[in-house]
Amino acid sequence: MENLEIFSEEFAKKAAQIGRLPDEWLEEINNQNWFKLFIPKKMGGLGLELTKGLLQEEKLASHDASLGWTVTLCAGAGWFVGFMENEMREELAKEPKLCLAGSGFVGGKAEKIGDSFRISGNWTYASGALHASHFTANCELVENGKPILDSNGKPLIKAFILRKSEVEILDSWNYMGMIATGSHAFRCEDLVVPSNRYFEILPDKTKLPDPIFRYPFLQFAEATLAVNILGISIHFQELIEKSFWKRNEIRSYDKKQLDYFQKVFVKESKGIQSLRSDFYQAIESSWAELIEEGETSASGLKKVSKISRKLTQACRLSNAKLFPFAGLEAARTHTELNRVWRDFNTVSQHALLTFPF
């Protein structure tokens, strides 16, 4: 059974103060195997289908933004096991507190030396870096000092997995929100690793039969980010409603003002819930295609991308419309409402969902 009481405001405040997930949360995460949402059961994971994984991520984000985001990003990096060589998967399966952190940034170069690679680089925004047992890092491949090119004449990029002992974590997460994610940078220099450390994230490159690994990474990433923004928004709007009625006890708004707030709040809440329903319907349809046909159609994937972005944009607009009703309580830096506002306005800056198309 999940111990939901552990995700109280007391612990959320503590997490923001120490700049990392508290030990109590990490213990619950590991007990529930949330860092392994999509890792197969035979590797000690939960082996969840996409919808169930997304619902769990949304739920955690609605408790605390940093909690949901860290679990989501680390579970997303854990999804990469489906594309790794067998030796690497066996190593990961033996890790009692497995947690993968990573960066989509191409921050390094991997020089090919026989059957090995010499890696040097600096990668940013590795959410969960302080809790990670392993890191994933995108590198440009070079040989004899020259870039190795793909079939289109562009530099070849590969993802590598590195052990925590092989990297240096850089204290670089200095942003107004999502403080407890500890999304620090990491680096390594002249690290020699065997060729079984790199992997390619493509449906036809999967090494495991589980359907989740045939789901395209772009839509997988868009959906997981969208449910975090959704969960944070639900939490944020609950706090705004609570703040408004608390202010009403002092200010005694007149009937016209109260009716106006209720009308706006109900409209925004229903709008988000309607898009939430559309989102999960698109996810379910694309998953059904994958199971029945062996792959998801281009049109199905386009719907997932479109609704993920539409939901994100709607949350931005809805939160902005409701924000004034919270009054100065929302601007007090030590309140829960202000922290959630900062978290939302930090996480919603993610480049993957910036544009509505």
**For the segment 146-200, what is each residue's pLDDT rounded down to a tens digit?**
999 988 999 999 999 999 999 999 999 999 999 999 999 999 999 999 999 999 9
pLDDT band at 329 (very low <50, low <70, confident <90, very high): confident
Contact between 147 and 223 (Cβ < 8 Å)? no
Helix (H, G, I), strand (E, B) or coil at 160: strand
Is residue 132 pLDDT above 80, yes or no?
yes
According to DSSP, the β-strands at 134-143 and 100-113 are: parallel
Please tell me the predicted confidence (pLDDT) of residue 354.
Answer: 85
Write the DSSP assignment of 84-140 as a string of letters: S-HHHHHHHHT-TT--EEEEEEEEEEEEEETTEEEEEEEEEEETTGGG-SEEEEEEE
- CATH fit for domain 4-82, picks 3.60.150.10, 2.70.70.10, 2.60.120.10, 1.10.540.10: 1.10.540.10
Per-residue pLDDT tens digits for 310-327 = 999 999 999 999 999 999
Please tell me the predicted confidence (pLDDT) of residue 114.
Answer: 93
Nearest to 224 by CA among 16, 60, 81, 1: 60
Is residue 32 pLDDT above 80, yes or no?
yes
Contact between 156 and 140 (Cβ < 8 Å)? yes
CA distance 99 to 25: 14
User: Considering the chain, what is the average pLDDT of its residues?
Assistant: 95
Ramachandran quadrant class, 112 (left: phi over 0; alpha: psi -120 to 50; beta: rest): beta
Ramachandran quadrant class, 106 (left: phi over 0; alpha: psi -120 to 50; beta: rest): beta
What's the whole-number mean pLDDT along residues 18-41?
97
Nearest to 138 by CA among 116, 123, 154, 153: 123
Is residue 306 pLDDT above 90, yes or no?
yes
Write the DSSP assignment of 241-292 as a string of letters: HHHHHHHHHHH---HHHHHHHHHHHHHHHHHHHHHHHHHHHHHHHHHHHHHH
Please tell me the predicted confidence (pLDDT) of residue 220.
Answer: 97
Query: Please, which residues have CB within 8 angstroms of residue 181's CB and are 6 or more apart in sequence?
Result: 66, 69, 70, 73, 127, 128, 173
Any idea which architecture 100-203 has in CATH? Beta Barrel (2.40)
What's the whole-number mean pLDDT along residues 9-30?
96
Give the tokens for residue 62.
């609605």
pLDDT band at 204 (very low <50, low <70, confident <90, very high): confident
What's the whole-number mean pLDDT along residues 106-119?
96
Nearest to 100 by CA among 88, 86, 115: 88
CA distance 48 to 34: 10
What's the whole-number mean pLDDT along residues 120-145?
96
CA distance 81 to 38: 9
* pTM of the model as a whole: 0.96
What's the whole-number mean pLDDT along residues 261-272?
98
DSSP 64: -
Give the tokens for residue 227.
């449910």
Please tell me the predicted confidence (pLDDT) of residue 42.
Answer: 94
Spell out the domain ranges in the chain. 4-82, 100-203, 215-353
- End-to-end Cα separation, the chain, in angstroms: 40
Name the fold adopted by 215-353: Butyryl-CoA Dehydrogenase, subunit A; domain 3 (1.20.140)
Contact between 299 and 275 (Cβ < 8 Å)? no
What's the whole-number mean pLDDT along residues 95-114?
94
What number of H helices and E strands is found in the chain? 9, 8
Q: In which element (H, E) is residue 357 found? A: none
Contact between 109 and 120 (Cβ < 8 Å)? yes
Percent of the chain with pLDDT over 90: 92
Per-residue pLDDT tens digits for 39-53 = 999 999 999 999 999
DSSP 136: E
